[in-house]
Structure 1
Amino acid sequence: MLARPNRLTRAADYKAAVRRGRRSAGAHTITYVRTTGDSGAARFGFIVSKQVGGAVVRNTVRRRLKAVSAKTLTDSLVHTGTDVVIRALPSAATARYAELRDDVTRSLSRVRA
C-alpha cells in the first residue's frame, strides 16, 4: 500500500504528468514520469480503464501496480519530487505480478537514463 504522500490525487497532477512527462511504453503498461522540482516525496497515480476488464480485474491490476510502485520506492528507482503515472494496457489483465514488475522497472530505468 502506498502512503498518502506517495499518491497522486488531483486530476491536474495526472494531466500534467501525462502531457508534460517523459513517456516509456512496455508490453503491459505505459509509464509517464514528470520531475516537479519539489522536495516532496515521489508520487504515483494509476489509470486502469474498462478496456482492461471488469471491476474485479481492474482492481486486481491496480493493486498489483501499487505493490510494484511501493517496491520501487524502497529500491530507490524514483527520485524525490517526481510524479509517475502508470497506465495499464488491456494485456495487463492476464499478466502476472512478475511481468508487471519487470515492465514498470524497465520503463522507469529507461526514463531515468
Structure 2
Amino acid sequence: MLPRSRRITRGDDYRRIVRRGSRCAGPHTVTHVVPSAEGDVRFGFIVARNVGGAVVRNTVRRRLKAVCAEALELDPTIVGPGTDVVIRALPGAGEASYSALRDEVHACLKRSFSRMNRDSLAGSS
C-alpha cells in the first residue's frame, strides 16, 4: 500500500495537478501528471459517485492504490522523483478488472513521464 508520505491529501494540490498537469486518458481512468517541488512521487485518487456505490468506489480506489504501489515497486523509474500524479476513475472503472486497470495506469504513467522528460529537454535547449 502507499504510505501517507506518497499520497496527495490537500484539495488545493488536487486542483493544481488536474488543471496544470499533462493528461493521459484511457477507457477507465484519466491520469494527470505534473512536476512538483516535493522530493517523493505522490499519488492522489478521485473516484466520484458516478463510478458506483460506496463499496464499488472503495474497491476501485484500493485497486488504483495497489496498482501505483506495484508500479513503483516493479519499476521505480516509471515516474521520476518530484512528480505528482492524480488518477481519476471514470464510470466504467467499477466493472474493470485489476489487470485492465494496471495495464492502463502503467501505460499512462510511462507516457506522461516520457512526455514530461521530452518537454523539459526541449525547454532547456
Bin of the TM-score, shorter chain as denominator length: over 0.9
Identity %: 59
| Counterparts of 2:72 and 2:17, CA distance in 1 | 18
Point out the structure with max Rg over C-alpha.
2
| Counterparts of 2:8 and 2:37, CA distance in 1 | 15
Instruction: Trace 1:20-99 onto structure 2 (pairs within 5 A).
Output: 20-38=20-38, 40-74=39-73, 75-76=75-76, 77-99=78-100
- Please name the residue that 1:106 is paired with: 107
Contact in 1 for aligned 2:80/2:113 (Cα 8 Å): no
CA-to-partner distance for each residue in 1:9-28, whole Å, 9 max, x for gaps?
Answer: 11111111100100000111
TM-score normalized by the length of structure 2: 0.87
TM-score normalized by the length of structure 1: 0.96
| Counterparts of 1:17 and 1:73, CA distance in 2 | 20
Larger relative helix fraction: 2
> Structure 1 regions of 5+ residues with no counterpart?
none
Runs (4 or more) in structure 1 with deviation over 6 Å come to none
| Counterparts of 2:72 and 2:40, CA distance in 1 | 10
**Alignment length, in residue pairs?**
112
Cα-Cα RMSD: 0.8
